[in-house]
Chain A
Amino acid sequence: MATRSNAVPFLFRPMRGGRLLKHLMLAGFGLLMLYPLLWMISSSLKPEELIFREPGLLPSTLTLENYSAGWNALKHSFGYYLWNSAVITGLSVLANLVACSLAAYAFARLNFPLKKLWFAIMLGSIMLPHHVTVVPQYILFSNLDWINTIWPLVVPKFLATDAFFIFLMVQFIRTLPRELDEAAAIDGAGYWRVFLQVILPLCTPALATTGIFTFIWTWNDFFSQNLYLTNSDNLTVAVALRQFLDSSGESSWGPMFAMSIVSLGPIFGFFLAGQKYLIRGVATTGLK
């Protein structure tokens, strides 16, 4: 026991009875970190005029007025934008799961000419700044008449352009014993059946990580959605939220905070549900 506690890195190392102090510091720091968020939640429940009078967290008057005002503040109800975001996000998740797992299986298990070269190119494309391709892509999509549709946001994902997830799944599939594939092959399974019935079911953790991160990134994405969705009937949550800053000027903070909270809700939900996969994904591949 003594050696074990000696091995703790020196920082914040508890002195005698210092463990409590350490917890106080960590919790205090955590509270400081989350204070802006908590303040936003609390402000969204306060009547407008109280938001800046009270920097404290506990509202003296509770009201849901901001939520109903915010829900109906823009051209469409906020539910409309939530639905648009949900469609794009849902399709993106599906697309990444399908396209990236297909590619990952080929890289991890099959042999083909120039495999090393293609794999290196795939890795390189992860590091490529998105902005280098965005101008020609925009021209391409606008020639296809795809501006103000969901296709520029979704079709690239069906073509496995989020190579990060291919890499994630390749790494995962490589840890699965090859004997499983071979046993299935001896039983008469072809490549597709090995992929669908042996590899995919065992990949659940990697698929979950991919799904959750795709969800969060797509939901949060502002750059592409703002670029391709300009018609006020097509907006997603991210782009619609920004309209609060334009339309209401600086005065109506309450409704804007309320809808900001609503927009973060799904991310927070996925965070709670998928923490294990999130943490593992970050720790192994450096995803955000």
Chain B
Amino acid sequence: MHESMSDSLSVTAGHRRPPAVNAHKKREALTAYVFLAPWFLGLFVITVGPILASLYLSFTDYSLLEEGSWVGADNYVKMFTQDDRFLTSLKVTTIYVVVSVPLQLAFALLLALALDRGLRGLSFYRSIYYLPSLLGGSVAIAILWRKLFGVDGLFNAVLAVFGIEGPGWVSDPDTALGTLILLHVWTFGAPMVIFLAGLRQIPQSYYEAASVDGASRLRQFRSITLPLLTPIIFFNLVLEVIKSFQSFTQSFIVSGGNGGPVDSTLFYTLYLYLKGFKSYEMGYAAAMAWVLLLIIAGLTGVNFLASKYWVFYGDTK
């Protein structure tokens, strides 16, 4: 009690720098490290240690079953020169990200604009549109998707009403990836909520001034809403690219665990999982993980560099 009393006094009298200040600072730092102890332990044992270990493993042919030996850059070389499935998984994932993220964000922005400002029932609509974002990553929804787009699934039943006989969308290599893209677009609710928050930040007076000046609504959107929203669009873009590049569950469940048909839904992380934990080529999987890290860091970096040309940071914040 007495101790903490004198501590607090030294806080209030800090600028006079009595000798107690140093002792107090020390104590504060010590307390901070106690509060941070679990996090430090986790950082080194669960995060930093494994990152370095995985870098080391990526230069070996380690497998859980037998000790590996140093193989230099073999894993990396093999990936890009001999492993067709790796290149396929890279291609599949890239298509998935490039198609689904812009579509998802476009839907999110469109609906956010439709829901913004004073609409009756806004929170009701917002909840409905947001719900799929919460459920979208679950096994149950992936199962549902597999069944929706099966040969005799709901989608084909609806098509049949119009006299169209649809294929088995998840079992056809041409359309299987499309169903996964659709599933990703379906979860546009989370970025939509972020857009809604961003739209609220735009001062109402800007629109008032613009309409006094006779600016059309389209003009207001182009000259006010869109530029002021670019930081949020950028934020959503970075977030969704990182997230969707690591999608796993949906492709695992919808393809039945192998990325089929004919590797058409073989996501990068699924292939990594198959390599590391099915065939126990853990050195190879670690190398894939590092390539993934570099890809994601690279994409994020490119996003940040490109943002200079289209993201507008006004003085509204």
Binding site for B on A (CB under 8 A): 3-4, 6-13, 22-23, 26-27, 29-30, 33-34, 36-37, 39-40, 52, 55, 99, 102-103, 105-107, 110-113, 115, 118, 121-122, 125, 127-140, 142, 156, 158-161, 163, 166, 182, 185-186, 188-191, 195, 216, 219-220, 222-223, 226-227, 237-239, 241-242, 244-245, 250, 253, 256-257, 260-261, 263-264, 267-268, 271, 275, 278-279, 282-284, 286-288
Q: What chain A residues lie within 8 Å of B7 (beta carbons)?
A: 185, 190
Which 9 A-B residue pairings sit nearest by Cβ, starting from the closest? A159-B42, A10-B217, A185-B8, A7-B207, A283-B197, A260-B140, A136-B50, A136-B53, A190-B4
Interface stretch (choices B76-84, B96-104, B113-121, B307-315): B113-121
Q: What chain B residues lie within 8 Å of A39 (beta carbons)?
A: 148, 154
Q: What's the least CB distance linking B227 to chain A, in Å? A: 13
Known A-B contacts A160-B42, A264-B135; A23 and B121 likewise in contact (beta carbons under 8 Å): yes
Interface SS majority for chain B = helix
Whether A288 pairs with B133 at a CB distance below 8 angstroms is yes
In the bound complex, how far is the Cα of B50 from the Cα of A158, in angstroms?
17
Give the residues from 156 to 175 in chain B that come closer than 8 angstroms, CB to CB, to chain A.
157-158, 161
Q: Which of A11, A219, A257 contacts B113 (CB 8 A)?
A: A11
Binding site for A on B (CB under 8 A): 1, 3-5, 7-9, 11-12, 25, 28-29, 31-33, 35-36, 38-39, 41-43, 45-47, 49-51, 53-54, 57, 64, 110-111, 113-121, 125-135, 137-141, 143-148, 150, 152-154, 157-158, 161, 186, 190, 193-194, 196-197, 199, 204, 207-208, 211, 216-218, 220-221, 225, 235-236, 239, 242-243, 245-246, 248-249, 252-253, 256, 269, 272-273, 276-277, 282, 285-286, 289-290, 292-293, 296, 300
In the bound complex, how far is the Cα of B49 from the Cα of A125, in angstroms?
13
Whether A110 pairs with B32 at a CB distance below 8 angstroms is yes
Q: What's the least CB distance linking A266 to chain B, in Å? A: 11
Whether A132 pairs with B51 at a CB distance below 8 angstroms is yes
Whether B118 pairs with A8 at a CB distance below 8 angstroms is yes
Known A-B contacts A6-B211, A132-B54, A267-B135; A122 and B39 likewise in contact (beta carbons under 8 Å): yes
* Chain B residue with the shortest CB-CB distance to A4: B118
In the bound complex, how far is the Cα of B145 from the Cα of A182, in angstroms?
55
In the bound complex, how far is the Cα of B115 from the Cα of A283, in angstroms?
15
In the bound complex, how far is the Cα of B28 from the Cα of A113, in angstroms?
10
In the bound complex, how far is the Cα of B239 from the Cα of A140, in angstroms?
30
Known A-B contacts A8-B117, A288-B190; A132 and B236 likewise in contact (beta carbons under 8 Å): no
Q: What chain A residues lie within 8 Å of B146 (beta carbons)?
A: 245
Interface SS majority for chain A = helix
> How many interface contacts (CB-CB < 8 Å) are there between A and B?
306
Q: What chain A residues lie within 8 Å of B290 (beta carbons)?
A: 132
Whether B277 pairs with A138 at a CB distance below 8 angstroms is yes
Whether B246 pairs with A131 at a CB distance below 8 angstroms is yes
In the bound complex, how far is the Cα of B36 from the Cα of A283, in angstroms?
27
Whether A261 pairs with B32 at a CB distance below 8 angstroms is no
Whether B143 pairs with A241 at a CB distance below 8 angstroms is yes
Whether B42 pairs with A136 at a CB distance below 8 angstroms is no
Whether A283 pairs with B193 at a CB distance below 8 angstroms is yes
Q: What chain B residues lie within 8 Å of A136 (beta carbons)?
A: 49-51, 53-54, 57, 286
Q: What chain B residues lie within 8 Å of A138 (beta carbons)?
A: 64, 276-277, 282
Q: What's the least CB distance linking A220 to chain B, in Å? A: 4
Known A-B contacts A222-B252, A263-B140; A3 and B154 likewise in contact (beta carbons under 8 Å): no
